[in-house]
Amino acid sequence: MKALLTRDLMLAIRAGGGFGLGLSFFLIVTVLVPFGVGPQTELLSRIAPGVLWIGALLACLLSLDRIFALDWEDGSLDLLATAPLPMEGIVSVKALAHWITTGLPLVLAAPVLGVLLSLPIPAYQWVVISLAVGTPALSVIGTFGAALTVGIKRGGLLMSLLVLPLYVPTLIFGAEVARRGAEGLTVQAPLLLLAGISFGVIALLPFASAAVLRINLR
């Protein structure tokens, strides 16, 4: 499983791997929003936590269809399925690799890009914390969507439609943590719910992903 993780990370970093894809999309969104909203610092800083969260969510979505599609196309998914790795392990490693190459850079970039949106000072830590807690859920749910649509030509559209509603709770509680943090309110309730969603999907969804992947490989 470690070998699979290293291979996926190596492939992501090498040319054509799509390592910077999510990150550059995130950058584009946060750079363009201030231009679109106009020079109203007060309005910007009010919407900043939400914009950062939506940007991160869409950036995650962008690279989801690559999780299994590439392995499916070159036949290595079939070969992995006959290897001694459990399918649940394969999908978990895939989700982890997606989080490391997409989610983690977003968490690290968020405070830097928050400056562009004049994010209020007390919100910085809560944006980072909520993204750090929430993005693993985005990767795991996305891996489930990718497993559902693997083998479908141009499955990206279908996958986005399937995954978006599943992303809504994460977005609501994640953005709520950041917003309440920005206003200096207590964040305990939404943060606990966000963590609950993350741990819940990490514990349960790999089994569902593995099951649909087995069916899709037939």
Partner 1 sequence: MVLSVRDLAVTRGGLAILEGVSFDLSPGEALVLRGPNGVGKTTLLRSVAGLQPPETGTVTGAEDQIAYAAHSDGLKAMLSVTENLKFWASVFGLSDIEPALVAFDLTDLRNRMAGTLSAGQKRRLGLARLMVTGRPIWILDEPTVSLDVTSVALFADAVRMHLKGGGSALMATHIDLGLTEARVLDLTPFKAAPRTRQMDEAFL
**Residue 3 engages partner 1 in binding (rule: CB under 8 A):** yes
Site string for partner 1, 32-71 (x = CB under 8 A): ----------------------------------------
Backbone torsions φ then ψ of 78, nearest 5 degrees:
-60, -45
Token digits of residue 163: 């995954």
Shorter beta-carbon distance to partner 1: residue 78 or 183 = 78
Q: How many other CB atoms sit within 10 Å of the CB of residue 193?
A: 17
d(CA 136, CA 139): 5
Which of positions 8-37 make contact with partner 1 (CB under 8 A)? 10-11, 14-17
Q: How far is the CB of 2 from partner 1 (least distance, A)?
A: 8
Shorter beta-carbon distance to partner 1: residue 28 or 79 = 79
Buried b (16+ CB within 10 A) or exposed e, 115-140: ebbebbeebbebbbbbbbbbbbbbbb
Q: Which helix (H) or strand (E) holds 65?
A: none
Residue of the chain from 43, 78, 125, 200 that contacts partner 1 (CB under 8 A): 78
**Residue 79 engages partner 1 in binding (rule: CB under 8 A):** yes
Q: How far is the CB of 11 from partner 1 (least distance, A)?
A: 6
Backbone torsions φ then ψ of 61, nearest 5 degrees:
-60, -35
Q: How far, in whole angstroms, is CA 11 from its chain's centroid?
A: 18
Confirm if 216 and 152 have CB atoms less than 8 A apart: no
Q: How far is the CB of 60 from partner 1 (least distance, A)?
A: 23
Residue of the chain from 81, 152, 162, 166 that contacts partner 1 (CB under 8 A): 81
**Residue 218 engages partner 1 in binding (rule: CB under 8 A):** yes
Which residues lie near partner 1 (CB under 8 A)?
2-4, 7, 10-11, 14-17, 74-76, 78-85, 215, 217-218
